[in-house]
C-alpha cells in the first residue's frame, strides 16, 4: 500500500478485514467452552450461505443470458426482472413427489446426491476468498481440493448405477470417462503453478502473486506458461464439471440428462446445486492459481476490499461460462476423448516444461526479456504443431444432414 494514502489505506484495511475482525470478535465474546463450536460455525455457515446464494443468482443470470443469446427474454415473471425465479424453482422442487424407480438400489440411490453435495461443499474449505479469509489452512490445500473433488466421480457412478436405467448408466459412464480424462490436464496445469510458487497452500500462492511492478500485478496469467496453463485449466475445468461444450454426459437431447434422469424433486435440485457449486469452486481455484486470487488487478485499486475482488473475478468467470454455453455446440464423444488425450495432455506437459525453464533461467534485465521470448516459443510452437498435426488428413467441411434434409 502506498504511504501517501495512509488515512484511506487504514480505512480500506479495516473494511478489507471486516469479516475477519467480526469473526474474532464473535469468538472472543462467547463463553470459553462454546468457543470451538462458534469457531466452527463461523467457518461453515458463511460457506453454506454465500455459495448457494450465488447459485440462486447464477441460475437467473444464466437463463437470462442464454435467453438473450437465443433472442428471447428468459424468466421475467417472478419478482422484479425475474429475480425471484430461484425461489419459485426451489419451492417447486420441494413440493414435487420424490420418485424412486422400483428396481432402483434404494440406499445408493439415496446417498448419491448427498455425497455429491457434501464433496462440493468440502472443497471450499481451502479456497481463499479474501485476505486472511481461508476457512482451513492446509499446507497441502491443493491436494485436498483434488482429493475431495475426485470423490465426485464416485457419486456420479452411484447415481447412474443405482437408478437401473440404461440412460443413467450410459450418462454415468460418459461422465466418469470424461472426468478421469480431464482430471489429468487439470492437475498437470496446476503443477506449473506449484513449481513456480513452491507451495501447495492456496493462500500462499495468492500471496506470491499479490505484488506489483509499477501498477501492474504479478499474476501468473501474465506469463507465457501461466497464460497457457490458465486456458488449459479452465478448459479442463469446464469438462470436469460437465459444462457446455463438454456437457454430453447430460446431453438433454440424446440421453435425457444422463445420470440424473431418475432423480426428481429435491434430489434433482441437489445435483443441480452440486454442479454449480463445483463450477464456482473450480473457477475459484482457477482465480487463485492464475488470476491472483483476491488481489486487485491494478495496484491503486487495492483500496477496494479483497473479497470484492475475488467475487468480481468469480462473476466474470461465471459469465464467461454462460457465454460459452450459449455459443458453442456440444462435442462428440470421440472428439472429447481425442481432445483430452491428444491435445490437452501434451500441452499440459509442455506447459510444465515451460514453467521449469521460466523458473531456472537467471534474472536480470536482458534475461527477463529473453526468458519471455524463450518461454513463449516453448508454448506456441508445440501448440501450432499439435493443432496442425491433429488437423492433418481431416477435411473440415460443412456438415451434411442426411436425414433431416430429405423430407
Max CA separation in the chain (angstroms): 78
Q: Provide, rounded to whole angstroms, the least separation between the CB of residue 36 and another protein.
A: 14
**Binding residues among 318-357 for another protein as defined by CB under 8 A:** none
Concatenate the DSSP letters of all residues of 215-279 into one string: TEE--GGGSHHHHHHHHHHHHHHHHHTT-TTS-GGG-HHHHTTGGGTT--HHHHHHHHHHHHHHH
* Using rule CB under 8 A, residue 167 touches another protein: no
**Binding residues among 187-226 for another protein as defined by CB under 8 A:** 198-200
With contact defined as beta carbons under 8 Å apart, do 325 and 66 qualify?
Answer: yes
Question: Cα–Cα distance between 46 and 196 in angstroms, integer?
Answer: 32
Q: Provide, rounded to whole angstroms, the least separation between the CB of residue 295 and another protein.
A: 23
**3-state secondary structure at position 102:** coil
* Using rule CB under 8 A, residue 308 touches another protein: no
Classify residue 339 by its DSSP letter.
I
Which grid cell is 322? 454462460
Q: Provide, rounded to whole angstroms, the least separation between the CB of residue 73 and another protein.
A: 40
Among 22, 180, 298, 373, binds another protein (CB under 8 A): 180
Looking at beta carbons only, is 154 or 315 nearer to another protein?
154
* Using rule CB under 8 A, residue 140 touches another protein: yes
Looking at beta carbons only, is 148 or 296 nearer to another protein?
148
Looking at beta carbons only, is 147 or 301 nearer to another protein?
147
Looking at beta carbons only, is 159 or 291 nearer to another protein?
159
Among 19, 55, 144, 307, binds another protein (CB under 8 A): 144
Question: Cα–Cα distance between 366 and 243 in angstroms, integer?
Answer: 43
Site track 53-92 with another protein (rule: CB under 8 A), x = hit: ----------------------------------------
* Using rule CB under 8 A, residue 124 touches another protein: no
Cell 499479490 belongs to which residue? 210
Among 139, 211, 320, 327, binds another protein (CB under 8 A): 139
* Using rule CB under 8 A, residue 153 touches another protein: yes
Among 37, 40, 147, 333, binds another protein (CB under 8 A): 147
Which grid cell is 335? 472428439
Kindly state the helix (H) or strand (E) to which residue 212 belongs, with its residue range: strand 212-213
Q: Provide, rounded to whole angstroms, the least separation between the CB of residue 345 and another protein.
A: 13
**3-state secondary structure at position 213:** strand
* Using rule CB under 8 A, residue 161 touches another protein: yes
Looking at beta carbons only, is 29 or 395 nearer to another protein?
395
Q: Provide, rounded to whole angstroms, the least separation between the CB of residue 331 and another protein.
A: 16
Q: Helix 166-197 and helix 224-240: axis angle, to 10°? A: 160
Question: Cα–Cα distance between 292 and 197 in angstroms, integer?
Answer: 12
Among 88, 173, 312, 374, binds another protein (CB under 8 A): 173
* Using rule CB under 8 A, residue 48 touches another protein: no
Instruction: Count CB atoms within 10 A of the CB of residue 95.
Output: 9
Q: Provide, rounded to whole angstroms, the least separation between the CB of residue 218 and another protein.
A: 22
Contact residues: another protein, CB under 8 A: 108, 138-140, 143-144, 146-148, 150-151, 153-154, 157-158, 161, 169, 173, 176, 180, 183, 198-200
Amino acid at each position: 500500500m502506498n504511504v501517501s494514502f495512509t488515512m484511506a489505506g487504514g480505512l480500506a484495511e479495516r473494511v478489507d478485514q471486516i469479516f475477519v475482525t467480526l469473526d474474532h470478535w464473535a469468538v472472543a465474546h462467547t463463553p470459553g467452552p462454546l468457543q470451538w463450536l462458534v469457531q466452527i460455525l463461523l467457518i461453515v455457515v458463511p460457506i453454506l450461505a454465500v455459495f448457494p446464494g450465488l447459485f440462486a443468482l447464477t441460475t437467473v443470470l444464466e437463463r437470462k443470458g442464454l435467453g438473450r443469446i437465443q433472442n428471447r427474454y428468459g424468466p421475467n415473471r417472478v419478482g422484479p426482472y425475474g429475480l425471484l425465479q430461484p425461489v419459485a424453482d426451489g419451492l417447486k422442487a420441494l413440493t414435487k413427489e420424490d420418485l424412486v424407480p422400483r428396481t432402483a438400489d434404494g440406499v445408493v440411490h439415496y446417498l448419491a446426491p448427498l455425497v455429491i453435495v457434501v464433496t462440493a461443499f468440502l472443497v471450499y474449505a481451502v479456497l481463499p476468498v479474501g485476505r486472511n479469509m481461508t476457512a482451513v489452512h492446509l499446507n497441502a490445500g491443493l491436494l485436498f481440493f483434488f482429493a475431495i473433488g475426485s470423490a465426485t466421480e464416485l457419486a456420479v457412478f452411484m447415481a447412474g448405477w443405482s437408478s437401473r436405467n440404461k440412460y443413467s448408466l450410459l450418462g454415468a459412464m460418459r461422465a466418469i470417462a470424461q472426468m478421469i480424462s480431464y482430471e489429468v490436464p487439470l492437475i498437470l496445469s496446476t503443477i506449473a503453478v506449484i513449481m513456480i510458487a513452491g507451495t501447495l497452500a492456496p493462500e500462499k500462492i495468492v500471496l506470491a502473486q499479490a505484488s506489483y511492478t509499477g501498477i501492474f500485478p504479478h499474476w501468473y496469467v501474465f506469463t507465457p506458461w501461466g497464460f497457457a496453463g490458465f486456458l488449459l485449466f479452465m478448459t479442463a475445468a469446464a469438462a470436469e464439471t460437465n459444462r457446455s461444450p463438454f456437457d454430453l454426459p447430460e446431453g438433454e437431447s440424446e440421453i435425457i440428462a444422463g445420470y440424473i434422469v431418475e432423480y426428481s424433486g429435491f434430489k434433482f435440485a441437489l445435483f443441480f446445486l452440486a454442479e454449480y457449486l463445483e463450477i464456482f469452486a473450480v473457477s475459484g481455484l482457477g482465480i487463485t492459481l492464475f488470476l491472483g486470487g483476491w488481489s486487485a488487478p491494478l495496484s491503486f485499486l487495492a483500496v477496494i476490499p479483497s473479497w470484492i475482488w475475488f467475487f468480481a473475478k468469480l462473476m466474470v468467470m461465471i459469465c464467461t461460462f454462460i457465454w460459452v454455453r450459449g455459443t458453442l455446440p456440444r462435442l462428440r464423444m470421440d472428439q472429447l476423448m481425442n481432445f483430452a488425450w491428444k491435445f490437452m495432455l501434451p500441452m499440459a506437459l509442455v506447459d510444465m516444461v515451460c514453467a521449469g525453464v521460466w523458473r531456472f533461467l537467471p534474472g536480470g534485465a536482458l534475461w527477463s526479456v529473453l526468458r519471455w521470448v524463450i518461454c513463449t516459443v516453448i508454448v506456441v510452437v508445440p501448440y501450432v504443431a499439435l493443432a496442425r498435426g491433429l488437423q492433418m488428413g481431416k477435411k473440415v467441411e460443412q456438415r451434411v444432414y442426411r436425414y433431416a434434409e430429405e423430407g
